[in-house]
Amino acid sequence: MGVKILGTGVCFPETIVQNEDFTKIVETSDEWIVKRTGIHTRRMTGQPTYVLAEEAAKNAITDAKISPEDIDLILCTTVTSDFITPSLACVVQGRIGAKNAIAYDINCACAAFVYTMDLADMYLERGYKNILLISAECLSKITNFEDRGTCVLFGDGAGACVVTKGKGGFASALGCDGTGANTLFARRPRNDIPFVEVADPQDIDHFPDAKDNTIYMDGREVYKFAVNAMATGVKDACEKFGITPEELDWVIPHQANIRIVQTAAKELGLSMDKFICNIAEYGNTSSACIPIALDEAIKDGRIKRGQKICIVGFGAGLVYGGAVFEY
């Protein structure tokens, strides 16, 4: 069978942050940022993550021409949920009136949208009919704005899509290397406990010293993992689908760094013309990157029915995933 996309939607904050804006808070330049990342602007908000998630979800449901009551499962991805509990998915379920849906979150960082597509395929095989996938991130909430190497990378945004069972096939290839967990992470703030001495987690896990509640990234190590993971994810997903990468119509990668995408494309022997990239406008929005780019390419007519699409991402964990399906 397969996964068919019925509708997509996005939500962006109004505030656009230019590269020049960072020159006021850290030692950097527009030329330095563009050369190393390909990013020119990104969006940021002071609103809760669920506000973006709700709007993207509503737009996807409208585009799918169904009602919230028709949704029977909501899968949300985020690393910036507004609550430890309840899940973002449950909050959105209540706010949009999807009263017949079960709802939960998954945390696979920047690769998470690929994982929700894999889960959706399994749930559709079990009889679920309309599944809402939402990836919403406000990375500005966990960005260290004193770290010039990372603060210029991240932005806020949300993308969503409604999927149902299709006939075009579906295949995925997922992977994890937990030995790299210390190369990309954000610690939860510690809470004082009056009855026990609270351990310093760094004394136990020996992760690099990093500011609590902000992203730490070893750029060199993540880059090496990312290039290999992107190529592997595409190759393995295509092999399971029964095609070669050359037979793909489009590849939608995680928008982390344009140089990573370019290197992966070279490794795959594919032209950059096959890659849908909007990192220049939105930066790295973690798990929201892929559904945002997917929505853009569908709405502007690049992606057409019957075309074969590969989505591929990597992120903290370290995790990666690729999935191939027919639009």
SS3 54: helix
> Do 288 and 159 form a contact (C-beta atoms < 8 A)?
yes
Structure tokens at 245: 């990468």
Angle of helix 258-268 versus helix 30-37 axis, rounded to 10: 20
Tokens 């993308």 sit on residue = 159
How many CB atoms within 10 Å of residue 215?
Answer: 22
Q: Which of 254, 257, 277, 310 is catalytic?
A: 254
Q: Which of 11, 76, 90, 110 is catalytic?
A: 110
Q: Which residues contact 58 (CB under 8 A, 6 or more apart)?
A: 9, 96
Separation CA 299–CA 47 (nearest Å)? 26
Active-site residue 254, yes or no? yes
Active-site residue 100, yes or no? no
Separation CA 138–CA 133 (nearest Å)? 17
Q: Which residues contact 213 (CB under 8 A, 6 or more apart)?
A: 142, 186, 187, 188, 189
Q: Which of 11, 151, 284, 310 is catalytic?
A: 284
Structure tokens at 109: 């960082």
Catalytically active residues, by annotation:
110, 254, 284
